[in-house]
Amino acid sequence: MSAPKIEIYTKWGCPYCVRAKALLKDKGMAIEEYDITLGGPKRAEMLERVPGAVTVPQILIDGRAVGGCDDLFALDRAGKLDPLLGL
């Protein structure tokens, strides 16, 4: 099974973004990060892909929105993150 594509929308200085990236990296995952600190087209893209998103990080695994940092850690605690990551 190939590794899933993991995308994360972040802002500079966001501690939740740092925690989410650290968890994914600890699991050996490559991350495609989009910094939306200054808004712009990537922020608009995030809002299109994750309607109603008002906070960062916004995390997508193979195009599926899984939520933010707390959601990611909840998936991990429930044993549901590793299967999403192909681990």
- Phi and psi torsions of 62, nearest 5°: 50, 40
Q: For 6-25, what is the mean pLDDT? A: 98
Q: Where are the domains of the chain?
A: 6-69+76-85
Q: How confident is the model at residue 2 (pLDDT cuts 50, 70, 90)?
A: confident
Query: What is residue 5's three-state secondary structure?
Result: coil
CATH number of the domain located at residue range(s) 6-69+76-85 in this protein: 3.40.30.10
pLDDT per position as a tens digit, 63-72: 999 999 999 9
Query: How far apart, in whole angstroms, are the C-alpha atoms of residue 32 and residue 48?
Result: 17
For residue 59, the model assigns a pLDDT of 98
